[in-house]
């Protein structure tokens, strides 16, 4: 373009389009650069986030590993402790079982000893009872019991003895019998009389002649002075004899 001439409209339009085209290229480049920067920042953030996640995961793994080791260690200690306690308990149980066995053995021995003592005690009681009964029998051997002898008001021991002596001499018709003692025993309106003679022969004579009282309709009965044991045995014998004399008892035996 020559100097001094103003540009034409065509030339001005070309320059304007050239400037717009240059500005567009520049704007596109800036946008592209901004996009690349944003991508870079995004990648950086992503890498940072991934790195943080990896760090957290590693930290969690290490923490879980430590906890697992601690749990294993605690389990080992607890198991060991339980085993020790179980062993001690088992040992104590064995000791207690052994002691129980000893006590059971001692208990059996004591039971045996107690049973032996009971048997010995029963034998001693039996022997003592026999000795007492024998001594009581000796003390009663010259005694007789007169039942049904009238008991008068104000009766004295002397009067009672005279009445018994008269009964023996007159009603039993025995002259050579002398009474050593006579006294009332027991309870009731007409109490029995215990009579003691001097000799056994006198006692036997009275028992031999006591039937004369029945023949004379005198309601007096004379029996030996028995010990409680002998009296029970005598009663049992009388009951057996009474049953044997009872026709119903004999009929029951025959039916059996």
**pLDDT confidence of 37, banded at 50, 70, 90?**
confident
Q: ∠198-200-203 over CA atoms, to 5°?
A: 85
Which two tokens mark 49? 């986030």
Mean pLDDT for the stretch of residues 94-116: 90
- Whole-number pLDDT of residue 24: 64
CA distances from 256 to 222, 240, 246, 250, 253 (A): 38, 17, 16, 10, 5
- pLDDT tens digits for range 38-61: 878 777 777 777 777 788 888 888
pTM metric for this prediction: 0.51
Instruction: Count other Cβ atoms within 10 Å, centred on residue 185.
Output: 10
Q: What is the mean pLDDT of the chain?
A: 85
Helix (H, G, I), strand (E, B) or coil at 227: coil
Q: List pLDDT tens digits, range 65-95.
A: 888 888 888 888 888 888 888 888 999 898 9
The whole-angstrom separation of Cα 255 and Cα 86 is: 75
Can you tell me the distance from the alpha carbon of 245 to that of 46, in angstroms, rounded to the nearest whole number?
Answer: 132
pLDDT digits (tens, 9 = 90+) for 216-244: 999 999 999 999 999 999 899 989 888 88
Distances in whole angstroms, Cα of residue 136 to Cα of each of 21, 143, 177, 194: 163, 11, 23, 15
Report whether pLDDT(3) > 80: no
C-alpha dihedral, 102 to 103 to 107 to 110, nearest 10° = 70
pLDDT given at position 157: 93
Residue 131 belongs to what H/E stretch? helix 9-140
DSSP letter, residue 7: P
Q: What is the pLDDT of residue 13?
A: 63
Confidence of residue 5 (pLDDT cuts 50, 70, 90): low
Between the alpha carbon of residue 142 and those of residues 138, 147, 185, 206, the distances in Å are 8, 17, 16, 11
Quickly list DSSP for 16-35.
HHHHHHHHHHHHHHHHHHHH
- Cβ of 164: how many Cβ atoms within 10 Å? 19
Q: Which residues pair with 223 in a beta bridge?
A: 145
């Amino acid at each position: 373009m020559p100097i001094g001439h103003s540009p034409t409209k065509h030339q001005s339009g070309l320059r304007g389009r050239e400037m717009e085209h240059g500005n567009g290229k520049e704007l596109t480049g800036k946008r592209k650069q901004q996009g690349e920067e944003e991508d870079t920042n995004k990648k950086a953030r992503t890498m940072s986030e991934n790195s943080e996640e990896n760090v957290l995961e590693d930290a969690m793994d290490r923490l879980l590993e430590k906890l697992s080791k601690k749990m294993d260690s605690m389990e080992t200690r607890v198991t060991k402790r339980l085993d020790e306690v179980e062993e001690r308990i088992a040992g104590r149980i064995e000791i207690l079982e052994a002691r129980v066995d000893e006590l059971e053995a001692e208990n059996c021995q004591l039971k045996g000893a107690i049973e032996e003592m009971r048997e010995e005690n029963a034998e001693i009681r039996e022997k003592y009872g026999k000795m007492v009964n024998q001594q009581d029998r000796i003390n009663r051997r010259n005694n007789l019991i007169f039942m049904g002898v009238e008991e008068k008001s104000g009766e004295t021991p002397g009067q009672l003895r005279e009445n018994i002596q008269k009964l023996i001499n007159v009603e039993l018709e025995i002259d050579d019998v002398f009474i050593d003692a006579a006294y009332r025993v027991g309870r009731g309106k007409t109490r029995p009389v215990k009579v003691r003679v001097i000799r056994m022969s006198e006692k036997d004579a009275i028992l031999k002649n006591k039937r004369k009282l029945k023949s004379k309709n005198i309601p007096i009965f004379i029996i030996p002075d028995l010990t409680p044991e002998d009296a029970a045995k005598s009663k049992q014998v009388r009951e057996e004899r009474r049953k044997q004399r009872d026709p119903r008892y004999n009929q029951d035996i025959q039916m059996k």
